[in-house]
Amino acid sequence: MLRFALAALTLLALALPVRLPAQTARGYSITGYVYYQDSTRPAKFVTVTIQTEQHQYLLSDVTSETGGFHFTGLKLSQYLVVIQVDGFESVSLSLDLAFDDGNGLAIYLKPLPNKQKALPGPSVSVHELSMPTKAREFLASGQKRLYQDKDAQAAVADFQQALAVAPTYFEASYQLGMAYLTLGNPTEAEGAFRKSVESSGDSYAEADVRLGSLLLDHSNLPEAEKFIRKGIQLNPNLWLGHYELGRTLLVEKRLSEALESAEHARLLAPNVPLVYRLLSNIHLLQNDFAALLEDLNTYVSLDPDSPAGLRAKQLRDQVQQKIAAQSQAPGAPHP
């Protein structure tokens, strides 16, 4: 029964950041902008997370083209504004909306000491600047519509316009794939990701990983693993790559390798609930109930109120009962 119940935690492909329902709707808000330190560049399309003071996940938003983010429906309470970007120091800003003004925040991302020279992102910038201005405008418009306005159909039109102007604009092909995923069209998404891989000369890690994820969902395991491993090779710090590799290895029942990949994803993204779903499935198949309980505890702390989080609480109770029963069984070691 426990194994059947835990099947509800089946692994999911990474979706766009989703706002969870606020417990109240009193209209309090947290807004601001994210910038790169010592630069005038806004940190666009960066995930900003709102957590409780106990580090429980509440809401996520993706910064706009100008680096802006916006949260509403909050109550007068204490919150953490958390940002984690590869190559930069993690941000954890504490706010008490009963005393602090949560609007108009300016947050600056400070590069890690060994990443100082990587701040401008020269390779990406050179490629982006090589694209026609009109294509870049369509891409920016499409990203705004996809991530801010939640209008994936309009975003598709913008990304297609960008590619009509610049057919080798592999970032636009990738974003087109993301829009198709949002619309629930995996076939078109796969085609867009394949075009992104091809147009980039197989040098764009995100496209390889997303394509591998889709192939995994279609049970094409060998090809899925090939693309995901290529994405990790291109960007070893892409947590999604390690997560998807762990998911692939789990399906193949290569549990020790799957656990290694999942642990790597956890180190890179310790506050992403999805990672703990993967860990819980691995530890379940390994019959490691102590580790499984720890996975579920962490998942619940990060995502307590969503349907998956509520289900995880029920599963945690079952695991606790299982552990208690094992400890009381004849011959079980006494503490």
Give the pLDDT confidence of 143-161 residue by residue, as tens digits: 888 877 889 999 999 999 9
Instruction: Check whether 215 has a pLDDT greater than 90.
Output: yes
Give 161's Cβ-side CA count (13 Å radius).
Answer: 17
More confident residue, 121 or 99: 99
**Residue 287: burial class (beta carbons within 10 Å; 0-12, 13-18, 19+):** exposed
Whether the CB-CB separation of 9 and 44 falls below 8 Å is answered with no
pTM of the model: 0.65
pLDDT at site 53: 80
Q: How many CB atoms lie within 10 A of CB 218?
A: 13
Most confident range, picked from 1-5, 168-172, 309-313? 168-172
Domains of the chain: 28-117 (2.60.40.1120), 270-328 (no CATH)
Sheet with strand 78-83: strands edge to edge: 57-62, 47-52, 78-83, 91-96
Share of the chain above pLDDT 90, in %: 39
- Reduce the secondary structure of 49-85 to three states and give it as a string: EEEECCCCEEEEEECCCCCEEEEEEECCCEEEEEECC
Kindly indicate the confidence band of residue 20, based on its pLDDT and cuts at 50, 70 and 90: very low
HSE-CB for 196 with a 13 A CA cutoff: 28
Q: What is the pLDDT of residues 245-297, one digit of tens each?
A: 999 999 999 999 999 999 999 888 887 888 999 999 999 999 999 999 999 99
